[in-house]
Amino acid sequence: MALLGGFRGRALRLAATTGLMSSALFGLGAAGASAASATTTSTGGYPFAATPCIWSPYATSGPLPQGRLDYWCPGYDWGTVEVPAGTSTSATLTTAEVAGQLSPYNYGYRNCTDYVAWKLASLGVKPAQYGGREYSPLGDGKTWGTNAAAHGVANNATPAVGSVAVDPSGEFGHVAFVTAWNGTDITVSQYNYNEDGNYTTQTGTPASLGFTSFDHFEKYETTTPPSQPAPVIATAVAAHDGGYCAVLKSQDVECWGTNQYGLLGDGGSEPASYIPVYVKGLGGVNSLAGNGGGVSENVCALLVTGRVECWGDNGAGELGNGGNEDYSNTPVLVRTVADAKSAFALNSISCAILVTGRVYCWGGGGGSGGVGNGANESSHVPVAVRGITDATSLSGGLYSTCALLTTGGVDCWGENQYGQLGNGGNEAYSYVPVAVSGMTDAKRLFGAGYPYCAVLATGGLDCWGNGVGTTGDGTGGVESDVPVAISGITDAKSIAFADNGSTKCALLTTGGVDCWGSNSDGLLGNGANAAVSAAAVRVGGLTNVVSIASGNGTFCVLHTTGGVSCWGDGALGELGNGSTTTSSLVPVATKGLSDAVGITGGDDGFCTLLRTGGVDCWGLNFTQRPRGPGNAQYSIVPVPVAGLGS
């Protein structure tokens, strides 16, 4: 069972009494349910069957012991959460301090309500119809009947396959899912009937099982037991400012997190979604580009047809449809672009590279240098970037954009306050692309904030622009308006940036990682406390690294084993190691991951794509910047995104 919905956003208050809290608090019993025995059979397909129930506070009177507080689920599982030393038993715990205790459906894991909510979701019932994106507005087992009726769901005494059986007896009641009905007896599947957090089935008359009414989600009821829905398999994950979107094997897209500027793309007006929702009317998607960083927030999808569709913020024309709307909460077709081979969302600019090598951009404007067509203004429709006919990729910083060319050269346009254009000039900005000085053999291009770096054909690494404390060439300079070689790196594979480029880390072909720049929160990863490093230093203990990702102040790497290691800031759970330690100066293993095949960094959190097509996320989960499952403020360990994976 579960506490009433509406728990989200409330603070838990510690019990000031001695001993364990009453089991009635959890609504666990099937009090009043009779006679027929419950048979334990497997897990019922429920994806959280092994997830510990971390639920409600328990403590003796007086100050809490330093460091930890026990959370209790009667009869099964213990969990712990870090709390400040000496916190009083009368203190209020925020949802941040009990992060991860709720399921994606806003109930305690392995409780009866959570299982039924999962069953309904797997059959296509949309919880938004019933008062919110979580099912908790329907309440606990005692109130599912009356609350469902209040939301327009039929509730009566007649069972049907696919209906929800309601037993309102006891303090919190009980609910179960009807899988069979022969006119006399029903068979139900359920969780936590025996107060042990396990799956059971029962057969008998409704009265003998204690059920007095049934909620009828009629569209989904059948005369035969419903089959399990086909798994929803993710193939890629992209981050934007405040959430994530996943490309599915079906070539559809699902998004979760904030809905500011309509970033969910589902046409709704809700502020956020803690579970993935389908982007409306979008199909045949090849890849996604997410856009964030506080300048602009939108997402663009490259379709298999070569067309591009975008949704979200349109303050500078980033949607590319010619409209003047402030934003769009559903995808709109970008004008004129019909043969794109890649799409990019780069701060306030969106761009596409065509199969011809030409680049078209839209959005942008003002002092940022525009969209590269020579005009100091934004464009609400795609325009050709002047002079570029052979681009292979694009990368963007704050108010600047650079293109990698087939020749190995790099052209940049936009702001040049810190030398981001790389041409040795002192102009404040350029409205047309200019060639980066001396760049002839670049193979990969990376940018963030104010610096850019290019991996060279030799394996060397050249960088330009701003980097707090160092450019990485060992000289300690804070910026360079021309490329400088990074000392000691001869086998670079890719680059990641943290803190707007203040710290840079290079993934090496050997599977190691070298970092330089600011060491805020231990971002250099070598265990040292120095404020900066003017030359690249080796991150301690890393081997077999295949990819690297970054958040605001944290780096995470994916290993060939499918595991993940992180270092840097961990105050919001970004390390994923189960600790609220403020930071780590060396890499620590993220808990529970052994089958990750990809990793994506958000502002203060990360998501991994799993071999099963599922997605696990950890870190910040604020209402405006959620990270997927549950609605706690953050999670200190990876948690599964609801409904994704086999």
Q: Which residue has the higher pLDDT, 394 or 269?
A: 394
Among 74-88, 171-185, 202-216, 218-232, which stretch is predicted with the lowest mean pLDDT? 74-88
Residue 105 lies in a domain: yes
Q: Pull the structure tokens for residue 574.
A: 């970004």
Asked whether the predicted pLDDT for residue 131 surpasses 60, the reply is no
Residue 312 and residue 209 share a domain:
no
Q: Is there a contact between 160 and 183 (Cβ–Cβ < 8 Å)?
A: no
Residue 174 and residue 320 share a domain:
no
The beta-strand segments (E) located in 129-216 are 154-156, 164-167, 174-181, 186-191, 199-204, 213-216
Give CA–CA dist 262/318, Å, rounded: 13
| The predicted structure's pLDDT at residue 646 | 78
Phi first, then psi, for residue 257 (nearest 5°) are 115, -150
Residue 564 lies in a domain: no
Q: Categorize the per-residue pLDDT at 122 as very low, low, confident or very high, splitting at 50, 70 and 90.
A: confident
Residue 174 and residue 291 share a domain:
no
* CA-based nearest residue to 639, from 614, 622, 617: 617
From edge to edge, which strands make up the β-sheet containing 308-313?
A: 285-291, 298-303, 308-313, 327-333
Residue 298 and residue 427 share a domain:
yes
Share of the chain above pLDDT 70, in %: 76
Average pLDDT of span 250-272: 90
Asked whether the predicted pLDDT for residue 577 surpasses 70, the reply is yes
Q: Which residue has the higher pLDDT, 65 or 609?
A: 609
* Domain CATH number, residue 382: 2.130.10.30
Q: pTM of this prediction? A: 0.69
- Write out the residue range of the structural domain in which residue 324 sits: 284-440
Average pLDDT of span 583-587: 95
Domain boundary (440, 465, 493) is at 440
What are the residue ranges of helices labelled H in 286-445?
none
| The predicted structure's pLDDT at residue 369 | 64
First-to-final CA distance of the chain: 26
Q: Is there a contact between 555 and 568 (Cβ–Cβ < 8 Å)?
A: yes
Average pLDDT of span 159-166: 91
One-letter identity of residue 47: P
The CA-atom distances, in angstroms, between 226 and each of 41, 127, 222 are 17, 19, 7
Phi first, then psi, for residue 346 (nearest 5°) are -125, 90
Domain boundary (164, 198, 220) is at 220
Residue 304 and residue 400 share a domain:
yes
Residue 178 and residue 57 share a domain:
yes
Q: Categorize the per-residue pLDDT at 296 as very low, low, confident or very high, splitting at 50, 70 and 90.
A: low
- Tally of structural domains, the chain: 2
Share of the chain above pLDDT 90, in %: 48
Contacts of 230 (CB under 8 A, 6+ apart): none
CA dihedral 174, 180, 181, 186 (to 10 degrees): -40
Q: Categorize the per-residue pLDDT at 159 as very low, low, confident or very high, splitting at 50, 70 and 90.
A: very high
Residue 55 lies in a domain: yes
